[in-house]
Homo-oligomer: A and B are copies of this chain.
Amino acid sequence: MHVPSSIANQSDTARVHDGASVAASAMLGDFVVAYAGADVGEQCRVLGFTQLWPGVRLEAGAELGPGVTFEAPLPGEHAAIVVGPQARVGAGALICRGVRLGLGAVVTAGAVVTQDVPPHAVVSGSPARITDYVRNDTGAPAMAWHQRATFPQEPSVVPLGVGGVTLHRFKFLQDPRGDLSVGEFDREIPFLPKRYFLVMNVPSDKTRGEHAHRQCHQFLVCVKGSCAVVVDDLDQRCEVQLDSPDLGVYLPPMTWGIQYKYSSDAVLLVFASDYYAADDYIRDYDQFVAEKRTAISQEQA
């Protein structure tokens, strides 16, 4: 954001109380107040009219538009609000007590955030819901894949540009007595399944998945209704809309996967190359970042 020079790096109307921690490279705009126990990281920017309560922590590179309000702490407690690294909060947004915004998350202007926001997610509205993910450092939307590339109409396999993830179109036979979609394992789908599961009755505002597998391959088909699948290899994210039973997405191991925007009638069919093993799951994104970086550096070594 461009800010007039008169208010950088710290406006003379801003106030930093004793006991507040504000990094030297941070910028505080007009009428910003940092109370004891607030913590503002390097390169953060707070544009104006914001009270940073005890327990509010802005991590490095976080940006807050004008008029952002944090809910005040309860008596004898800290507000315990965290704005993650590189997260951006739009003008006039409200962040409730106890909320944590993940790495690179985006809150659009005017949103009322009552729940945690996952890394790279974009939220908007009141109460705020996830509407998209951020593709990469350019800030482009992950759901823009449909604009960037041609959806295959004929049976074929298309890489999504995120690690080894592929999008599959299968044969679909239309018939007055009923339609038929067919897929073959070890031929079209690159493994033999040991397990399948069906996901259904997912509320439209819920997000599922949010994990990676260390060893297990997965293949997703939305056999009824529709849902959106976001895949993430650390470097890139991509969102595809599965809205036809002859579309599938293949997730190799060490791919972070998210499913959301389920239609009310959606049934998601998942094939897995292995039986269930609890220790194959990575459910913490920081842990995924760490293991994926190790894996990449080993590949490159």
Contacts and interface: CB of A to CB of B under 8 A. Distances in A.
Nearest to A124: B127
A76 B2 contact: yes
B203 A195 contact: no
Contact of A36 (B6, B17, B125): B6
A69 interface: yes
Given A182-B195, A194-B186, A199-B179, A2 B75 contact: yes
Nearest to A91: B71
Nearest to A6: B17
Interface in A74-122: 74-77, 90-92, 94, 96, 109-110, 112, 114
A158 interface: no
Interface stretch (A45-53, A146-154, A234-242): A45-53
A207 B176 CA distance: 11
A91 B94 contact: yes
A72 interface: yes
Copies of chain A in the complex: 6
- Does more than half of chain A's interface fall in helix, strand or loop, or is it mixed? loop
Interface in A163-197: 176-187, 192-197
Interface of A: 1-4, 6-7, 13, 15, 17-18, 29-31, 33, 35-37, 47-49, 51, 53-54, 65-67, 69-77, 90-92, 94, 96, 109-110, 112, 114, 125-127, 176-187, 192-203, 206-208, 221, 223-224, 245, 262, 265, 267, 269, 275-276
6 contacts: A13-B15, A49-B51, A181-B198, A182-B196, A182-B198, A184-B275
